[in-house]
Structure 1
């Protein structure tokens, strides 16, 4: 109100800015010019008027409307030209879609095309939040179906995988892994050549992203032959040298998948894979032991695999791990690997001469499956041609 305090002059001389007139009057009567008469005016940084402000106001989230108007309002704000409003809207949306009913409404109101566009936005925060929303949607049947129907999603996912920010690459990897949990999603990702794309990035990624990529590769039993031809087994062998046990265990799990293929068994023998697996048998992590013994179980199916495994002298370690009665899967893997090795004359002779008491001393805790496998092992060792 102070900017138009000289009402007569302001109404008479309309071509001059009211603040300029106020400063002229102040100069004539030797009065100080106030902040509101400057051009542009200087606003107050604080107010002397007492007030109580909300103690928990989150400026990163937009206010969500009540009831059915909540999502239509957010959809309108996602298309706003102000990037701050878009960021606030997408933050609020990320919280709402954990509710399956809200996710259904998000699909019905066609949010997905806008989210797909924001996946490649220049703002890193928007790209990250979009990847998180895609992960949440992909965890629900209706959301996964809507994502797979949009061909641009897969294209933008491939772009996001190469993002400069590791946080965004991690969220994108989580979204891809979630999409690949169904057969339809796996087929679409395979048709888009995601297996070689992700495999080529594993060598230079952080462990968390590598873990997500390995989880995705474990769902791709349909392209095992192609993965072997592209050198994926060599990548898995390198990842076995990582420090994190969960990454090593997932890498060996992928090796198991590849070793089910005849070509995988041949490559395992020619590349001396058993030497690397022997090293993992002495890890301190039980899951690594379980995965490594399972991989050895597949390798020792073939005659060449039996000979290669016998050359690395792991019988003592296998029997030591077989005594771990807290993990039945590990015990069974060890016994089955020893059974495969006993099918070779050299292995049968070594077990018969040195390890019969140790085999009989394995604690089964009356587990019928384990007892049956131990009985098969003893019958194989004692068999005479």
Structure 2
């Protein structure tokens, strides 16, 4: 005779928002079919399930091979907010893997994502910028973003986006500008970065200074930094309470002071004193190295060389630093300071 018994085991963990995942090799093909379903709930559940699977690079590899990227690109245009949000989330997770970034370049995902730059769903925009940020970590990815003509749009979005998204955009722009800063310079990126240097958010100040390092690599970038009077602000940031802000400000000055105009703009802003203070305040390796190189640039001007001659002992101490890069930078600084015409 049958008896009613209560099981001692917990009920199965079933998520009603997630599609049931098929067994073994059928898992991703089935989800890919469901991504193309005309039923909204089916598409939503498939995307939620896919978000979990894409944390594994092996699944990312398989998803790309069976055509999931094409399905996801189509879903970026979906009218449903949740579908677009979860689609950008899937792509963002895929972009955290090298195989995913490579797949983006091969399947035209960069342009497909760009159509959501003006999406009214903040989460959509945040996810797509996260995807771009991770893609830009790959040199080919940074070039892909540049070659897609997206730099002017990213610079424009930097001025209007929410603060936490601005941080992500700056992270994307820095490696892209190292590849090619031409479009950014044409898009008034330097005045935009200048404004961000004055932000109350230390992360934005630091990342804006890092972007200025990248945009100052070409001569035109150095000239624009000087013409837009960014150098005095960078000098002020040498006294910022955040080490990373100090380091990136010193790095930007190092590039901007390669030109004669940049050197004298920095000297007029009394850059030598705060740079020397950084050397004497037990800084991080990055702060010390960038400050030493910036001072070397200033020592190439006769006025700078004269001001630094009494501080040669400070650089001699740096020659005994545990970091070899700092040792070499200090040695070069001493040679420049002690050079006699």
TM-score (norm 2): 0.88
Q: CA deviation at 1:88?
A: 1.3
SS state at 1:376 partner: helix
SS state at 1:63 partner: coil
Q: 1:160 aligns with which of 116, 126, 139?
A: 116
Judge which range, 83-92 or 105-114, deviates more. Answer: 105-114
Which residue matches 1:322?
279
1:230 corresponds to 2:191: no
Contact 2:298–2:304 (CA<8 Å) still a contact in 1?
A: yes
SS state at 1:250 partner: helix
Gaps of 5+ in 1: 1-48
What number of residue pairs does the alignment pair up? 335
Contact 1:228–1:258 (CA<8 Å) still a contact in 2?
A: yes
Judge which range, 295-304 or 282-291, deviates more. Answer: 295-304
Alignment map for 1:195-274 (pairs within 5 Å) = 195-220=151-176, 221-274=178-231
Q: 1:83 aligns with which of 37, 40, 49?
A: 40
1:382 corresponds to 2:333: no
Distance in structure 2 (CA, Å) of the matches to 1:294 and 1:147 = 32
Alignment map for 1:96-175 (pairs within 5 Å) = 96-151=53-108, 153-175=109-131
Q: How large is the RMSD of aligned CA atoms in angstroms?
A: 2.5
1:72 corresponds to 2:60: no
Distance in structure 2 (CA, Å) of the matches to 1:189 and 1:278 = 32
Contact 1:319–1:359 (CA<8 Å) still a contact in 2?
A: no
- Distance change (3 Å), C-alpha of 1:115 and 1:295: same
Higher relative contact order (CA 8 A, sep 6+): 2
- Distance change (3 Å), C-alpha of 1:54 and 1:263: same
TM-score (norm 1): 0.79
Give the greater-gyration-radius structure (CA): 1
Gaps of 5+ in 2: none
Distance in structure 1 (CA, Å) of the matches to 2:254 and 2:326 = 15
SS state at 1:216 partner: helix
